[in-house]
């Protein structure tokens, strides 16, 4: 590539293991179904408590999916911390990502 070197970053090199992908996709599909359920409840004029309960379940599924992805990323970083940091995933960057999940 001419005179410049291309440096791959952490975000370009990390791939989630198949079992993590499968688990996260299942959680996301569950959350998607729950969100459709929330939409139906609202369209049908359901009770506020039922809507909020279903919405809370969808939020929890999304949160658990995010935590699972973070756990997998942390394992990757712990396996080779120098490489992770060289690719841009410093402890501070990992903390910033983790805190976005709140």
User: Taking the chain, what is the end-to-end CA distance rounded to the nearest angstrom?
Assistant: 41
pLDDT tens readout for residues 42-57: 999 999 999 999 999 9
Q: Worst-scoring range by mean pLDDT, 49-53, 56-60, 62-66, 86-90? A: 86-90
- d(CA 20, CA 15) in angstroms, rounded, equals 10
Domains parsed from the chain with CATH numbers: 17-99 (1.20.58.1000)
Mean pLDDT confidence for 62-69? 92
Q: Kindly report the pTM of this predicted structure.
A: 0.73
| pLDDT for 100 beyond 60 | yes
């Amino acid at each position: 590539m001419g005179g410049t070197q291309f440096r791959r970053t952490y975000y370009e090199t990390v791939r989630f293991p198949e079992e993590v992908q499968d688990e996260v996709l299942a959680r996301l599909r569950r959350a998607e179904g729950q969100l459709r359920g929330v939409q139906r409840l609202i369209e049908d004029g359901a009770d506020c408590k039922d809507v909020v309960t279903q919405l809370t379940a969808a939020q929890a599924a999304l949160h658990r999916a995010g935590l699972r992805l973070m756990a997998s990323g942390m394992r990757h970083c712990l396996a080779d911390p120098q490489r992770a940091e060289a690719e841009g995933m410093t402890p501070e960057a990992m903390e910033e990502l983790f805190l976005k999940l709140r």
